[in-house]
Amino acid sequence: MFSEHVSKKLSAYCHGEVDSAESRQIAEHLIACNWCRTQYEEIRLGVKLAQRLPQVSAPDSLWFEVQAGLAKANDSSVRPFSFGGWRPQLAGVMAGLVLVIAVGAFWFYLRETRPFWEVARLNGAPRIGSSLMNEKGRLAVGQWLETDSGSRAQIDVGTIGQVEIDPNTRVRLVETKATEHRLELARGKMSARIWAPPRLFFVDTPAGVAADLGCAYTLEVDDEGAGLLHVTSGWVALQLKDRESMVPAGASCATRPGVGPGTPYFDDATEVFRRALARLDFQPGTQETKIPDLDLLLMDARPRDTLTLWNLLGRVEGNDRVRVYERIAGFSPPPEGVTREGVLQLNEQMLQLWKDKLETTWSQQSFGRFGKAWIKIWTGALGRVKSEDGKK
């Protein structure tokens, strides 16, 4: 009985991966053999410990990253580079060496020729890819820049602007070329200052794309993928598929995965107004259950809040739309050529005419005499920004 110990089969025995005859044989052996019993106790402890190993949830941004990677692979018609097929043990020594040299050279060539942005360390120890960066670094297309709780970094967006990366932030350079500079913000907070013409700089987030129209803004994304855009100068378009919000200086706009951007609002709106708007935008419910929030919002609206109300026109229906219309008209009646019926039917031309009139109120405090110029830029950019829909 002791001539053949069963220690090599003990894990399989614990897992029920041996047949019944063998299982009985092992059990009998364990009764009689002290050495194997000691081994069994040790392995059983190992099994119980391993059973404590929890599964880890993948970050919500992973699907978005996979989609972005897939889109990029499709765009370039080049399959992602991988060492997966490399099996040096199957090749001869010389063939292996040649392969290693060739792959290495190719890899270094790709690495050196990839477009990149310059990155400066502001605090702590930001990482580019898996490497800690020095005072200066290069963020190549496809690479991630990540800051921990004590680090910050500044990115030069080619020659068109700068982006500051706050602590606990993860960004990736998706694209940089003459006609488009694109960053992905997976989580954390960044502040952008862009002095290039509109439509050159985009930031992908899990809940929408922020398209710069010549401006400065901050953008935050939490661990759930929810975002908040705050514009400090100029205009930013926030878009997910067909849903779009144009956000002027002094205003903010929240965005949620699966929903897209909410309705923009001025930061100096009352708290009651902002809370009611958040519930209207993102809280599940029917038109009936949202009536109290619409009541609060309309009651607390100021002339400047026609920014929010005008955007709401297309997002509410029926009697709610009539109420929103009446409230805006109370602040600023529709101009000549714009009828009540046309607005309620969301006639684009009439909405635009009324918006042109309302914008003077929105931009008064944020742009002064430059307001009109910004509006022209924004208006000209609108159609082209919409063409970016395919990116999401």
Q: Which is nearer to another protein, 12 or 278 (CB)?
A: 12
How many whole angstroms separate alpha carbon 218 and alpha carbon 199? Answer: 17
Residue 243: is it exposed, middle or buried by C-beta count within 10 angstroms (0-12/13-18/19+)? middle
**Would you count residue 94 as binding another protein (CB under 8 A)?**
no
Shortest distance in whole angstroms from residue 173 CB to another protein: 14
* Among 1, 27, 32, 70, interactor with another protein by CB under 8 A: 70
Is residue 33 within 8 A of residue 41, CB to CB? The reply is no
**What x-and-dash track marks residues 151-170 binding another protein by CB under 8 A?**
-------------------x
Kindly tell me the sign of the dihedral angle through the C-alpha atoms of 25, 26, 29, 30. negative
Length in residues, the chain: 392
The stretch near another protein (CB under 8 A) out of 7-15, 90-98, 252-260, 271-279 is 7-15
Please give the single-letter amino acid code of residue 68: A
Is residue 251 within 8 A of residue 219, CB to CB? The reply is no
**Would you count residue 90 as binding another protein (CB under 8 A)?**
no
Q: Which is nearer to another protein, 42 or 326 (CB)?
A: 42
* Among 25, 30, 37, 59, interactor with another protein by CB under 8 A: 59
**Would you count residue 218 as binding another protein (CB under 8 A)?**
no
* Among 1, 32, 47, 110, interactor with another protein by CB under 8 A: 47
The stretch near another protein (CB under 8 A) out of 27-35, 130-138, 201-209, 296-304 is 130-138
The stretch near another protein (CB under 8 A) out of 77-85, 247-255, 277-285, 374-382 is 77-85
230: left (phi over 0), alpha (psi -120 to 50) or beta: beta
**Would you count residue 34 as binding another protein (CB under 8 A)?**
no
**Would you count residue 30 as binding another protein (CB under 8 A)?**
no
- The residue to which tokens 């069994």 are assigned: 40
* Among 3, 52, 77, 113, interactor with another protein by CB under 8 A: 52
* Among 10, 213, 324, 385, interactor with another protein by CB under 8 A: 10
The stretch near another protein (CB under 8 A) out of 45-53, 213-221, 331-339, 350-358 is 45-53
Is residue 152 within 8 A of residue 123, CB to CB? The reply is yes
CA distances from residue 226 to 113, 160, 389 in whole angstroms, order as listed: 35, 27, 19
**Would you count residue 61 as binding another protein (CB under 8 A)?**
yes
How many whole angstroms separate alpha carbon 247 and alpha carbon 253? Answer: 7
**Would you count residue 11 as binding another protein (CB under 8 A)?**
yes
* Among 35, 86, 106, 109, interactor with another protein by CB under 8 A: 86
How many whole angstroms separate alpha carbon 198 and alpha carbon 139? Answer: 23
**What does the block give as tokens for 169?**
């932030």
**Would you count residue 58 as binding another protein (CB under 8 A)?**
yes
Is residue 262 within 8 A of residue 278, CB to CB? The reply is yes
**Would you count residue 136 as binding another protein (CB under 8 A)?**
no
How many whole angstroms separate alpha carbon 43 and alpha carbon 36? Answer: 10
CA atoms within 13 A on the CB side of 158: 18
**Would you count residue 7 as binding another protein (CB under 8 A)?**
yes
Kindly tell me the sign of the dihedral angle through the C-alpha atoms of 128, 131, 135, 138. negative
**Would you count residue 184 as binding another protein (CB under 8 A)?**
no
SS3 258: coil
Shortest distance in whole angstroms from residue 304 CB to another protein: 41
Chain residues in the site for another protein (CB under 8 A): 7-12, 14-15, 17, 39, 42-43, 45-59, 61-63, 65-66, 69-70, 73, 79-80, 82-84, 86, 127, 130-132, 144, 146, 170
